Structure 1
């Protein structure tokens, strides 16, 4: 793609926005070097990668790129035997860790919701954990070489600490002495030129031996190293030199290890840069509220509510345009400042974005084409240095376009034929457009010439369009109207501004009759369009009102049914309370009768008591079982011999002995057998054989929670709240098979950190825990390894 078209369409501003969303400098480089592709499969692959990153951002939030740095120059020096400093080595270790963490993040997401392109790319990252461990074993988070980096360094630093203690003790003893204290400016010990000194007043210089290393700005104070500690300082200096040599040996060893893995690490860095670049495209899509465009290579372009990405959202006017199906060329007419140039740039810029694998700011369902090239002649490109007029500049540009374009190109022309005699200019414009159209190019051109309206009307595959203009407000609306040619509106504007009517009539008399007919036809078309749009908006509004009314009626009906159910349930409950009271009294009476019969030697038949109890049950209102089916209740058609059931009318449990036919069953209730209607039964438990059979096919499946977090932020919580949250978080992570999680507790006073780590020490699911390393949050984060 020619760089000139990228400059004309301001593609670099889109790249600047894209680079802003990259987390690493490596990703920013990829963003700034992005160029459109003319290969359909390559474009589809780019868009799919953007779509996968967009999905990850939506479901899981931002991908973890923390700690990843540009280590390429350090690796190149290490490869040729150079010694890296502690910061460079620490950057290498953190980049290795960051790459491994990102790889696991994408792998975990891929298991739940496939992202094949991102997974395939991240799988190429090599895990250089031995090198990372070697560096972290020697260098801490503050990029300082640790004592345990080697046994020699540990011994040297012990010697240094011992020497410093001895010197300080000697000097402390000296400055506390009355004879020395009066000669000192202050009773303190300081360091100059890596040697311990004390501040002596200038007037006591001759009374005080030793070496002067510095003096104050006023000259009143001399920083003197007493003779008694010169030998001790010398010995301390020798130990420091040994320490420096030992540190150099350690850094050389680590640099050599990094140099051996340079090729793999450089490849890893490139993969990380690509991933950062892909996620930057997703974040840009979120910012622009952009959508995934469908791509084709058959020259079809369809933008639905397309917006220019460099115009503010509250000011941009959406664009609807289709090109390459019924017509391959669009001729846009209308007055200046109507938005014609913005329309051309929107079509060109959105096409470039789609061909670069970026989502476009348009509604779903938009389609873009992969053109072999996009050409544009937009704006006044005359060159004073080349002594070219506006017309000459445009013609030079057009000639270059005509030489290079093919049938698979998109050509965008602004003010075609402008800058010369109108008659000759319109004739040239028609000839140029005819040539471009005959090649099969996709073309959008803007013009002022009315002759081109007739050309578009008569030529197959070419259609008129215009930018809408509001006569009432004398201002453009910036809406593209495809199928309607533009009007000059000169007479209407002049009349609204107050030009005398006789002058307007005189001007109309100078216009050709056929031009007046064309203007009248266009005015009629525009009036019909406005009427149709008004009617469509009215129909849309009525449809929305009807939909609201329908939803309101449904809500009212649901509320009515709920109130009805509540009232019926309340009435049934009151009836049950009355029956329960009556039953209690009846049971008491029956008990008294039995007692009386027993005492008097008479007898009351059991079946009469059952009949009396049944009459009481029949008086109780039945619950509307269609609304309140008990959990576990089975349909009556499933009842078979051997099942345990409830007889509603008697409120008794029993077992089905056999089915008697005609919708009845013989039920055993204690010592009684009764023939009962199936509609009066509710299944409680199936026969044991069927229950056992069902148990054999039962299964339990636990699926992984899609929203399990890998980090917990406890900052701002008290210890009691934090422990509750941490316990829940660890359980969720353990059940989701997370290997490592992060608990953010901040630094503060350390109370929260201590409490959390005491809790982790006793937890049965915790394998180990440690404070965060450089790039992980340091002492403000605890990294937990789960079993």
Structure 2
């Protein structure tokens, strides 16, 4: 079976756990490479081996300490000389093999162990070789003196020689004359020769030879002259000892090589037995039982627990396929219970065919020729496939390879795409697998598949129960009962707002009702389809002709609409042109009337001096009244912006009446009096009075005028000055100096000294500009500022082009420092 398919079931994780229970590197390697067999006989044999090993576990000795002897045996077989550690490994292997064989033989007296004894018979029994290894080596691998008579004699002579050398060197150490030259009073060995650690510079005292020097250079390891010859003899004996040990090792290596075939077979048998006992230990750990394998059997797992779930938490389930059923469809909430059940079936099948017992009370399984699983997110970033595409590609491969003896596990079959299409595709895939007789376990949320399992033979619904109180799955499988998703219940338990839940329930009911209605409608529609099609065909030709006629009418209407709009635009532009010309004429007449009224105020003062003047004043007053009547008639035709405030005739008449009232008073002017200056057309306050002139203040401007040039402004009933010139119901504003240094005489506070056109279209801006300039001129402004911004410059160019066309614009310029620069235009107004 393919490793990738088994990895989806986490079979590699399971193998790793079993390998940890092996004692030898050979047993671990065998378990790590373990795969399910598709041969029924082999699978049954593996299970029998595990069963026998499980019975032997209490009496089987540990194989820890046994290492891999294969490389040493092969080397000895080829005539190589083995090192001492190789013989220690051979001795450990042969001892363990002997202990294991005796243990198995003892157990076999109580119960048959045919499979394990077959391995035990291949375990090497070489007591002579073990005895010789034990005679030659100690437990650390050192060659003993008794290994040969020659070695014993060589080492005796070495010991005698070492004693003589040690005695001589001890004399040096004890002698005070030499001791003061020693770095330490000890005997050392360097390069296999006995030496003394002598201080640097003291070597000549001892004679002999310098064998070695310390890293610091302060200590010289000197072999004194008196022991040099003895050291040479010792070196010769050491070389002779090495040659004798080499001869002993070579002899033993030849004996091991002579048993190479037995040792290699024993090596394989011991590894196999260790792997079998690891499987048995895992069965004991899981409290597992031996599954029954039947080539054409059914899936029947009773009290099954997933091997990765702790025993205390795992819920035992009965996963039993009814007679004649090959597919199980798992439904229910998306909480993991379905996938665990699906994986349990798959990993049980893989374990059984690998010789592993399964954690269940009883287990019956077929022998599958393949286990295929489509579980989890198989999205491939390297191939740039979507999740659905990756799953579908895997399903295509499964359908190509699965047979009637295969097990196919499909998690959320048909998911990842349109639910209707996914459900239809899932049913078709299940049909294809069932037709082959394939065993299938699938999970789904689709209601269509639940209905499919109720009506299709060979497949049965199942569900994993869910505790709505704890919001946790109970992992209890119910065969034959489709599961509910419980999405709304889970959401309610988790605290979702009741209004949202109520709306969801309404949609759910409406959806179900709508589905029923749609099904009924479809049935009726099917009966009416043919008639409707014929009627539609008949109507199609008629509608095509009518559509063509409508297209022509629409084109005619579009042309007529454009013509009407063009005429309306032309008429509107003509109306605006006439209105503006009319407004300009009215403004000119107002200016003339204002000048005439000002002259009338001057004549009114001289009326007291001569009757001719009175006649002239009356004439002027009648002329003003006639002009006022004309202006009143014309005001009806003015746009709203020209008729909001008080007209020039009203203001002029008011000023004339104020002037007449002021000149009729006999009291002299005093500081604080309010006066009107006809010459400047503004009100002011008397600041200082001298015999020849009055100093008046208008805003920040102080003006010296002759008393006869001002008119007293009488106060109203409340003590406030009566209005002289301005909008209806509003007193005029005093003049102020503008930022540029000139005097701007403001007569109407409702009109601001600047206009902001930013954000307007060109057409909107030009209308607003003319409207504003007309009001500013009427209010008495001599200079105003128009803000148009920089932008693309289109608005600035349009504003200045229009200013060139207006007759009452005396001049204009770009704003200076503090006036907005090129983003503003300062406009001078006047006749």
Give TM class, smaller chain.
0.5 to 0.7
Aligned counterpart, 1:680: none
TM-superposed CA distance for 1:307, in Å, is 1.4
Q: Is the 8 A contact 2:60 2:103 kept in 1?
A: no
Please show how residues 703-722 of structure 1 align to structure 2 within 5 Å. none
What is the deviation of 1:218? Answer: 4.4
Counterpart in the other structure of 1:404: 401
Number of residue pairs matched? Answer: 514
Confirm whether residue 417 of structure 1 aligns to residue 414 of structure 2.
yes
Cα distance change on mapping 1:504 and 1:19 into 2, 3 Å: closer
Match in the other structure for 2:720: none
SS of residue matched to 2:136: coil
Alignment check: 8 A CA contact 2:377 2:387 kept: yes
Are the equivalent residues in 1 in contact too, given 2:301–2:320 (CA < 8 A)? yes
Unpaired runs of 5+ in structure 2? 518-831
Aligned to 1:54: 54
Equivalence map 1:579-594=2 (5 Å)? none
The CA deviation at 1:38 is 1.4
Aligned with residue 303 of structure 2, among 305, 316, 334: 305
In the alignment, the residues of structure 1 paired with residue 54 and residue 128 of structure 2 have an alpha-carbon distance, to the nearest angstrom, of 34
Partner of 2:441: 444
* Residue 270 (structure 1) aligned to one of 257, 263, 268: 268
8 Å Cα contact 1:333-1:448 kept in structure 2: yes
Q: In the TM superposition, what are the counterparts of 1:50-89 in structure 2 within 5 Å?
A: 50-57=50-57, 60-89=58-87
Alignment of 1:522-601 (within 5 A): none
* Aligned equivalents of 1:115, 1:506: Cα separation in 2: 68
CA distance in 1, matches of 2:472, 2:497: 16
Alignment-derived partner of residue 164 in structure 2: 166
Residue in 2 aligned with 1:22? 22
| Counterpart check, 1:499 vs 2:513 | no
State how far apart, in whole Å, the 1-side matches of 2:479 and 2:195 are.
Answer: 88
Structure 1 residue 356 displacement after superposition: 0.5
Q: Aligned equivalents of 1:240 and 1:415: distance in 2?
A: 77
Aligned to 1:512, what secondary structure does the other structure show?
Answer: helix
Deviation track 1:305-364 (CA, whole Å, cap 9, x = no partner) reads 21111223333332320126242111111232242112111110111001101011111x
Q: Please, which of 277, 280, 291 is the counterpart of residue 289 of structure 2?
A: 291
Which of these residues, 226, 233, 258, is aligned with residue 235 of structure 1?
233
Q: CA deviation at 1:152?
A: 1.2
Counterpart CA distance in 2 for 1:492 and 1:108 is 62
Q: Does 1:39 align with 2:36?
A: no
Q: Please, which of 188, 197, 200 is the counterpart of residue 199 of structure 1? A: 197
The separation in 1 between residues aligned to 2:511 and 2:268, in whole angstroms, is 67
**Do the aligned residues in 2 keep the contact of 1:200 with 1:222 (CA within 8 Å)?**
yes
- State the SS of the aligned residue for 1:229: helix
Match of 2:427 in 1: 430
In the alignment, is the contact (CA less than 8 A) between 1:338 and 1:467 conserved in 2? Answer: no
Q: Which whole-Å CA distance do the structure 1 matches of 2:37 and 2:219 have between them?
A: 72
Three-state SS of the structure 1 residue aligned to 2:202 is: helix
* Larger relative contact order (CA 8 Å, sep ≥ 6): 1
Alignment equivalent of 1:471, drawn from 442, 465, 468? 468
CA contact (8 A) 1:291 1:359 kept: yes
Q: Contact (CA 8 Å) 1:338, 1:468: kept in 2 or not? A: no
Partner of 2:379: 382
Q: Which residue of 2 aligns with 1:537?
A: none
Call closer, same or farther: CA 1:414–1:218 in 2, change over 3 Å. same
Mapped partners of 2:330, 2:200: distance in 1:
90
The ranges of structure 1 where at least 4 consecutive aligned residues each deviate by more than 4 angstroms after the TM superposition are: 514-517
Contact 1:184 1:199 in 2 (8 A): yes
Specify whether residues 128 and 495 from structure 1 end up closer, same or farther in structure 2 by C-alpha distance, changes over 3 A only: closer
Report Cα offsets for 1:276-307 as digits up to 9, x if no partner: 11111111111111111122111311112211
Identify the residue that residue 350 of structure 2 maps to in structure 1: 352
State the alpha-carbon separation in 1 of the partners of residues 88 and 285 from structure 2: 34
- Cα displacement string for residues 379-430 of structure 1 (whole angstroms, at most 9, x for unaligned residues): 1112122121111111111111111111111111111111111111111111
Q: 1 CA distance for matches of 2:335 and 2:391? A: 20
SS at match of 2:123: coil
Pair 1:118-2:77 in alignment: no
- Asked whether the equivalents of residues 24 and 65 of structure 1 are also in contact (C-alpha less than 8 Å), the reply is yes
Residue 121 of structure 1 contacts residue 271 of structure 1 at CA under 8 Å; is this kept in 2? yes
CA distance in 2, matches of 1:385, 1:126: 52
Shift of 1:444: 0.7
SS at match of 2:498: coil
Question: In structure 2, how many angstroms separate the alpha carbons of the residues matched to 1:509 and 1:348?
Answer: 38
Task: Please report how far the alpha carbon of residue 508 of structure 1 lies from its aligned counterpart in structure 2 after TM superposition.
Answer: 3.2
Distance 1:383 1:114, change over 3 A: same
What pairs up with 1:301-340 in 2 under 5 angstroms? 301-323=299-321, 325-340=323-338
Q: CA deviation at 1:516?
A: 9.3
Shift of 1:67: 4.9
d(CA) in 2 for partners of 1:122, 1:438: 47
Q: TM-score, normalised by structure 1?
A: 0.63
Q: TM-score, length-normalised on structure 2?
A: 0.60
Q: 1:203 to 1:482 in 2, by over 3 A?
A: same
Pick the aligned partner of 1:190 from 188, 191, 198: 188
CA–CA separation in structure 2 for the residues paired with 1:123 and 1:362: 33
Q: Look at both structures and tell me which one has the larger radius of gyration over its CA atoms.
A: 2
- What is the rounded CA distance, in whole Å, between the counterparts of 2:134 and 2:320 in structure 1? 59
Contact 2:195–2:223, Cα closer than 8 Å, also in 1: yes
* Cα separation, 2, equivalents of 1:120 and 1:383: 48
* 1:5 matched residue in structure 2: 5
- Indicate how the Cα distance of structure 1 residues 230 and 50 shifts in structure 2: closer, same or farther if over 3 A, else same: same
* Kept after mapping to 1: 8 A contact 2:206/2:225: no
CA distance in 1, matches of 2:173, 2:371: 83
**What does 1:644-655 correspond to in 2, within 5 Å?**
none
Give CA-to-partner distance per residue, 1:721-745, whole Å, 9 cap, x none.
Answer: xxxxxxxxxxxxxxxxxxxxxxxxx
Name the CA shift for 1:376/1:515 in 2 (closer, same or farther; >3 Å). Answer: farther
